[in-house]
Chains A and B, each alone.
Chain A
Amino acid sequence: MTNTIQILSIEKTGKESSLQKEHNNKSIKIIDGYFFSRNLDDQKFTKISKLISNDVSQTILTKKNVNKVLSSYCNFNWVVEIKFLPGVTDNIATTVKEIIKDNLKSSFKSFELGSTKIILIKGRKEDITKISKNEANPLIQTIKIYPFKKYLNNFKKNQFKIEKVKLPKKKYSKKEVNLDISDYHLSLIGKLGIEENDKSRRGTLGLDLESLKTIRNYFSTIKRKPTDVEIETLAQTWSEHCKHKIFSAKIDDIQEGIFKKYIKGATEKIIQLRKDNFCVSLFTDNAGGIEFNKDWIICHKVETHNTPSALDPFGGAITGIVGVNRDCLGFGKGAKPIANTYAYYLANPSKKYQLYRQKNKDPMLPANFIAKGIISGVRVGGNCSGIPTPQGNVYFDDRFAGKPLVFCGTVGIIPKKIKGKLSHKKKANPGDIILMAGGRVGKDGIHGATFSSEELDPNSPVSAVQIGDPITQKKMSDVIIRELRDENLYSSITDNGAGGLSSSIGEMAKESGGFIVNLEKVPLKYNGLYPWEIWVSESQERMTLAVPPANVKKVIKRFNARGVEATIIGKFIKKEKAIVKYNKTEILNLNMEFLHEGYPKLNLKTSFPKIKKEKKKIIKNSSLIDKLHKLLSSPNIVSKEFIATQYDHEVQATSIIKPLQGEGRVFGNATAIKPLFDDEKSIALSQAAYPQYAETNPYDMAGCSIDTAYKNLIVSGANSKKIAILDNFCWCSSDEPDRLYQLKEAAKACYDYAVAYQTPFISGKDSMFNDFKGFDKTGKSVKISIPPTLLISSIGVVDKISHLTKMTPDDGDILLVLGNTRNELQDSVYFKIIGYEKSKNPVVNSKDALRTYRNFEKANKLGIINSAIGIDLGGIGIAVIKMAIASKKGLTIDLKLKNKISVDQFLFSETQSRILVSMKKNKLANFKKIFKGSDYTIIGKCTGSDVIEFKDNKKIIRGKISDFAKSYKQNIKGL
C-alpha cells in the first residue's frame, strides 16, 4: 500500500544540469512525485506507475528500493518538496488523472491527485533554501524543506500529503450590502472589498468613492439595498480595465476624451480619406480586423499582463498569451490564431533591486526570476497551443523593477463569409442559450480586472493569479474553429477574460438586450465557491457562446466528443435587464444601461511636467571599435536569439521571414508569415516602443514608435496601403496631472502620425497604473513608476513573395542610407552607455519620412533594392554591423561627412525614418531617378571580406566581423 508514485530519471536531465551549474553543486537530483488522496494496492501501483513513466529512462521509487536507488547517486541530506497550493491549476495532475481513468476505466474509484516536484541535494540547508527560492513561487506553491531522513521516513509511512481545497461548508444566503454609511466606510468597501460576516474583507473592488455613491443613488431610487453580487459585478464592469475610464474621460478641453478624439478619431479620419474596404472591424470586437485578400480577414490584438506577471511571472505570462489567443477566437464568429507576438519591458536581470511590498517583508521577486518566468510562460503557452511566435522584442530599464510590462499579441484569420453570412458580424439573439465551454471555474483570478486597475501595493490579492492550461484551450479552440463555426451553429461568441462571466455575458447581452443566468449550473473545480466568486472568477480557457436552442444538443455533443466540457448556464433575453439567480434566488437584477454606462465620468486636468534631462559626459579615450562593441553587447541591442529559438516560430508551416535572419542569424525587427497555402500574400509583423524617449518629449516618443513600427513593415516589403497599427499604452500614476499631460501629448502624436501615414488604429488597450509602492531593503518607502510606454504593433499585407526583403548584401553591392541623419543622440543607447553632452531627441518629420518610404516601396517592387534594414537603436553604426554579421560579408564605410556632423553623431544618432539599403552598382541610375529630391547618402560598399572598415580622411579603422558577432551574441547577464 502506498499513496505516492515517485519517478526519477536515470540519466542527468537538462534541468538537473542547469540547476547543478547554477548552484555549483553536482549533487542535485529531481524527482517527479504524484501524491494520491487514497492508497494504491500493489497491483494498482504497478499498473499506474507503468502508465506514467518510461522504464528505459526512469526508475520508479518504492518503499523497498528508495534507499538503495538514491544512495547510488550520493548521500543526499536535504529535500525540498514543491507542490501547488490548493486550487491552483495543476495541469500535470489533470493529465495523469485522464490517463488513469482511460486505462483503468471504472475499476478505480474517484481520487484526488497532486503533482509534486521533489529536489534532493547534498549540501547545506542554506543551499536548499536558495534552490527553493529559485524554483518555486510561494504565491502559488507550498515549499517544504526537510532532512533526507524524514523523506525516507515519509516514504515508509505513507506520509506524503496532497493539498486539497478546504473551503468552509457554507450555505449561501443572499447577502445585502448596506451603503448608507459614512464616506470613510464607503471608501473602505472600494479599497478593501465587501465586509464578510466575520469582519474580514473580500479584497479590493477598485471602486472610488464617487462610483460607490453613484451605486448608492441608483439603489435608493429603486428602493432596495444592493446585493454583494451586484456590487461585485458593477466593480468588474466599471473597472479601468474594462471601461477605460481615463481614455474616455473629459480631459482639459477635450470633451470627448482622448480615445474618441485621437485614436478612434484618427481611424475615422483615415477611413473617410481612404474610401476602400481595408478596415473591416474596429474597436468594437475582441480584436481589430482588416482585409487580407478577397476571401479572408485577419485580426490582431495585443494585451498586457503586467501585474499578474509581477506576482507570478510564469503564470502571468502564460495566461497573457493564451488569453490573447482567446481574443482571436472571440473575434467575429471565431478567428483561428496564426501568430503570437511578444514584447517585454523588464528590469536588468543581473541587478538585485531588493524591493518589498511591506516594510521588511513580502519581497518582490528577483528581477532575473521575473524575466525567466515571463520568457518561459509565453514559451509554454505559445508552443503548446501550436501557434507560431515569430515576432517580439525585449527591452531593459531599471524603472521596470517595480512592475514588468508583458505585452502578448495574437494574429488571427477568418473567412470573410461563413455559409453566406459575414463572419465578423455576430449577434446574440433573444432566446439564445448561454453556453460556457472549456475549463471549470475555481477561485483563480478573483478580482483580476479590478486589481489590474490599481497600483501594486500590500493589498494586492494573491488569488488574482491564474495559470493557463493551453491544452484545454487547444481542444476547445479546435472544436470551435474546425467544426462549430463553419456550420454556423452559434450566433455569437466571446472569451472569458478579465471579469469572467460577469464581463463576457454582460458584453454579449448588449446584442440581444439582456440575460438571465443560473449560477448553480456553472461547473466548478471544487465546491464551496460563493455565487459572487463564480460570477467574477477569471478561471481560464473558457468561451461563452450564444447558441440557438435548436442547435444546443448538437453543440454540446461536439464539445464532449473532443474531451471538452460545455454547459448551459442561462439565456439571452430581449428585455434590457441583467438577471442572475442562484438556486432560484435572484441575486442580481440591474438595468443594462446602468450596468454599462452608469459609472461616473471622470474629469481630468493635466499640467506641464518638469523635464528631468539626464546629463552625461563624454567618456574619453574610447576608440570607435570599442564603442561599437560596448553598444553591441548592451542588453537592449544584443541578440535575442535565445528567445527566438525557444519559441516555435515554424509551426503551421507559415514562417517566411524568420526572427533570425541571414546566415549569421541576426535578430530581425520584422517577421512575416504566409498564412494560406494557395495565396502568395504574406503578413508582416513588427512593433516598437521608446520608453527611453518618453520623459524628454512624450509627443516625439509616440511619433518615433509609430514611425518605427510602420517603417519596419515598409522595409520588409509590405504594401503601404495595407498597414494597420495597434496602440498599447502602459502608463504610470495616471491620476497625476503631469503624467496625464504626457498621455495627452502621446495620444495627440498618435493622431497626427497615423493620419499622416494613413495607417488606421484597429485595436488597442491601456494599463494606466504601472507603479510600485513599497519599501527598499532599509525599510524606506519607495515608489517606482515605469517610464510611460506606448507599444505600437504593426500588421501589414505583403502582396508578393518577391517583395519580401532580406538584410544580407552581396559582394560588390553599394550601401546607402535613405533619409537624413541629424544630431539626435538625446536618450539614445549611445547616450546611455557612452555619454554625450549637447544633443536633441529624435523627432519624426512625417513628410520626409513618407517620401523615403514611398520611394523605397517603388524601388523594392522594381527589384532595385538587394537588401535592407531599418535603422533604429544604436543608429547607422549598429545597422551596418548587423548587416555584416547577418551576411558574413565585410563592408567598407566612408566617413567623409557632410552637414558638420561628427563621426559619433553620424554613426550613433537615432534619427528616425532611415533605412540602410544595398544594391547592385548597375541599379544606381534607376535608383537615383526614383529618389530624385529625396535624402540619401552613399556610405560605402560590400567587400565580401571578413572585416568592417570605417574610412576617415586620415585613417582606416577595422574590426573583424567575427569579433563583432561575438559581442552581439553575448549572453545577457542573469538570464
Chain B
Amino acid sequence: MNVLVLSGYGINCENETLHAFEVVGFKGKIVHINDLIQNAKQLNNYQVFAIPGGFSYGDDTGSGNAMAKKILTNLYDQLIDFSLKDKLIIGICNGCQILINLGLVPSLNKKDPEVAMIENKSGSYECRWVDVKVNNNKSPWLKNISILNLPVAHQEGQFMIPINLLKSIKANNLIGLQYINNHKKLAKGQFPFNPNGSKDDIAALTNQNGNILAMMPHPERAFYHYHVPNWQNNTSKKFGDGYKIFMNAKKFFA
C-alpha cells in the first residue's frame, strides 16, 4: 500500500498527512507537483493520492483555483485514470478546494467544476474544532464512522452548490460529512458549530463512486489523543478521531 502526498507552491500539511498514513501501515512519499508533472507515470506505483492542506498559490484567484488549473493543464488525464481504478483520492482543506475546483467531486454532470468554495460567512479565517457526522457510509473513507471531532482552519470553507445540483447530490448520497451542534443535531448553519455557513452544513463531498473524498476538516491534526482540545481530561485513548479516516483507507486495501 503506497500513498503519494502532493507538495509544492504553498501546500503545507504534507508531513503530518504522510505521517498519519504511515502510522496506519502505508508506505508513502511526498512528491513535488513539478516532479509529478515531469514523471506522471509514477502514479502507477501508488494506491492513494492525497492532496494535503495548505495555501497553494496563497489562495490568489480563489482557494485551490490556481493549483487546480496547474493540474488541469498538466496532469488531468492521469488523475482521471487514477480515479477510475480501484484507488483512493483524498483532498483535505486546500486539497478539498483543489478537488472541487478540478470538478473531480461531486462530478455528476460534466468536467467543469459544479461546486464552488467561497469565503466563510463570518468573513474571517476560522481555526477551531468542530463535530461532524458521517452522512455517506458507502465511501470507503467514511465506512463505520458516525461522528468525528476534528479541527478546521480555513478562510474559504463554504460549499456553494446550485439548488438543482444539491438535489442530485442528496439523491446520490454524496454528502460526506455535515457539521453538527453540541446536541449532535445538524448545525443548521449556526456558528460556530457550522464554522463557515456552508449550505446543509456540508463539510465534505464525495464522488459517486465514493473513492474520492474532499473534506474541509483536518483528520491528520486530530490523529493522536493529545491533539484533541482538553485531552488531559481523557488520556485513556491513544488516537483522536482523525485516525479513523486513515484506518479506513488501510482497511480498503487490506
Contact = CB atoms under 8 A, between A and B. Distances in A.
B61 interface: yes
B123 to A, nearest CB: 3
A475 B9 CA distance: 6
Contacts of A95: 57-58, 60-61, 66
B160 interface: yes
B82 interface: no
A471 B53 contact: no
A471 B58 contact: yes
Contact of B61 (A52, A474, A663): A52
Contacts of A383: 55, 125, 153
A96 interface: yes
B28 interface: no
B32 interface: yes
Interface stretch (B13-21, B134-142, B170-178): B13-21
A179 to B, nearest CB: 46
B74 interface: yes
Interface stretch (A98-106, A767-775, A825-833): A98-106
Given A475-B8, A804-B232, A54 B62 contact: yes
B118 A11 contact: yes
A54 B127 contact: no
B95 interface: no
B128 A96 contact: no
Interface in B84-141: 101, 112-116, 118-128
Interface stretch (B39-47, B205-213, B223-231, B245-253): B223-231
A652 B19 CA distance: 11
B57 A103 contact: no
Contacts of B229: 658, 660
B70 A562 contact: no
B7 A478 contact: yes
A650 B69 contact: no
Given A52-B61, A471-B9, A563 B34 contact: yes
Nearest to A54: B116
B62 A385 contact: no
A655 B61 contact: no
A102 B73 contact: yes
Contact of B9 (A96, A563, A642): A563
B60 A650 contact: no
B223 A562 contact: no
A856 to B, nearest CB: 17
Contact of B123 (A15, A474, A650, A655): A15
Given A385-B12, A475-B8, A103 B61 contact: no
A9 B232 CA distance: 44
Contacts of B162: 56
Interface residues of B, number: 59
Contact of B127 (A17, A53, A649): A649
Contact of A648 (B73, B123, B125): B125
A366 to B, nearest CB: 20
A257 interface: no
B125 A651 contact: no
A57 B54 contact: no
Given A17-B123, A56-B113, A99-B70, A384 B55 contact: yes
Contacts of A11: 118, 160
Given A563-B9, A563-B34, A96 B60 contact: yes
A974 to B, nearest CB: 16
Contacts of A647: 125, 127
A599 to B, nearest CB: 40
B35 interface: yes
A222 interface: no
Contact of A56 (B8, B12, B153, B160): B160
Nearest to A96: B61
Contacts of B35: 561
A14 interface: yes
Given A18-B123, A57-B160, A653 B220 contact: yes
B151 interface: yes
B168 to A, nearest CB: 14
A801 interface: yes
Interface in B139-176: 151, 153, 160-162
A51 B34 contact: no
Given A11-B160, A645-B126, A652-B16, A471 B61 contact: no
Interface in B218-240: 218, 220-221, 223, 226-227, 229-230, 232-233
A661 B53 CA distance: 25
Interface of B: 7-10, 12-13, 15-16, 19, 32, 34-35, 53-55, 57-62, 65-66, 69-70, 73-74, 101, 112-116, 118-128, 151, 153, 160-162, 218, 220-221, 223, 226-227, 229-230, 232-233
23 contacts: A14-B119, A14-B122, A15-B119, A54-B62, A54-B101, A92-B60, A92-B61, A99-B57, A99-B66, A102-B70, A102-B74, A383-B55, A475-B8, A563-B8, A645-B126, A646-B126, A648-B127, A650-B221, A651-B221, A653-B221, A653-B227, A806-B232, A808-B233
Given A15-B119, A15-B123, A470-B55, 4 more contacts: A471-B57, A653-B16, A801-B226, A806-B230
